[in-house]
Amino acid sequence: MRLGVLDVGSNTVHLLVVDAHRGARPIPETSRKSVLRLMRYLEPDGAISEVGVRAIIEAVAGAAAAAEEAAVDEFLPIATSAIREAANGEDVLARVARETGVELQVLPGEAEAHLTFLAVRRWYGWSAENLLVFDIGGGSLELTQGRDEVPDVALSLPLGAGRSTVEFLPDDPPSTDQVARLREHARAVLADAVGAFDDLPAPDHVVGSSKTIRSLARLAGHVAEGVGSTDRAILTRRGLDDWTPRLAKLPADARPALPGITVDRTFQIVAGAVVLSEAMHAFEVRELEVSPWALREGAILRRLDRMA
């Protein structure tokens, strides 16, 4: 069957269409992405502005049309932290449904973490044993760990790359003091979270997922030989910490000239690098592997698992 999953996130509205059936690996058929950066549309009271709502509606309508053109058998539209936490989130959902016919399913932070962990587990397989997973979205950072397809611990923290940029790095490029304040804030939030993992054994693999981490791995990491034809992208903490201050000194419009830094991530890549660095320090991680699968693939896999 052909499935389409629409992910309305804090930074992008991304449609992924795959051909798949239960027990088989999903094969990508097409992909469509609209860059929103919803955090810039937040009003002082936490509501998404009218301009932002219109941008969401336009992007969702375009994605729905693309899904119809791709002849999907089933459409899975989901929304994450930006709409979940907006003061007018319910009104936004109602308007999207009314004007596009698409009823977005809002995922709680823990559900988002569980789907991402499922995708990473399936990609790596059972032989990877105990996985610790970092996933940096636009609005939140998900931390999960476990041996099975359901993690033993799953946390969603307000340390997304877009949110952190808006709250702590308003200048372009950010000042040294702004970066230091974000680092201090991330360190404090992570210090409170690490205790939830104290009773778990040391992970056998530490994995990063999300476009932000993939971009940083292309910039500051390297590729190691993997199993079969699949190579592994590796990001070391040393490489990340070496590149982060250099990234912070560049204006956003100059960063896409660097390897791996795309236009849709350029405004929030510095915040993402700072948050990831602090997460790696908090969990004493020297290097992580990068998973090509994340939330969207997790949603597809969960749907396939539930097929009769």
Q: Is the pLDDT of residue 229 over 50?
A: no
Region 254-265 average pLDDT: 95
Structure tokens at 297: 């693939």
What is the predicted pLDDT for the residue at 230?
Answer: 60
- Identify the bridge partners of residue 35 per DSSP, sorted by sequence position: 12
pLDDT tens digit string along 175-188? 999 999 999 999 99
Percent of the chain having pLDDT more than 90?
Answer: 91
pLDDT tens digit string along 124-138? 999 999 999 999 999
Q: Where are the domains of the chain?
A: 2-106, 109-296
What is the predicted pLDDT for the residue at 227?
Answer: 54
- Identify the bridge partners of residue 289 per DSSP, sorted by sequence position: 207, 234
Decide the pairing of beta strands 232-236 and 287-290. antiparallel
Q: Is the pLDDT of residue 228 over 80?
A: no
Residues 109-296, CATH architecture:
2-Layer Sandwich (3.30)
Q: Is the pLDDT of residue 21 over 70?
A: yes
Identify the CA nearest to 213 among candidates 229, 234, 232, 194.
Answer: 234
Domain boundaries 2-106, CATH class: alpha beta
Report whether the peptide linkage leading into residue 251 is cis, meaning its omega lies within 30 degrees of zero.
Answer: no
Look-up of token digits 């999907």 = 72
Contact in structure between 294 and 207 (CB atoms under 8 Å): no
The model's confidence at residue 232, banded by pLDDT at 50, 70 and 90, is confident
pLDDT tens digit string along 24-83? 889 999 999 999 889 889 999 999 999 999 999 999 999 999 999 999 999 999 999 889
Region 221-243 average pLDDT: 84
Q: Is the pLDDT of residue 120 over 90?
A: yes
The model's confidence at residue 231, banded by pLDDT at 50, 70 and 90, is low
Q: Is the pLDDT of residue 161 over 50?
A: yes
What is the predicted pLDDT for the residue at 234?
Answer: 96
> Do 109-296 and 2-106 fall under one CATH topology?
yes
Q: Is the pLDDT of residue 308 over 70?
A: no
Measure the CA–CA gap between 246 and 261, rounded to whole angstroms.
Answer: 13
Look-up of token digits 């992208």 = 233
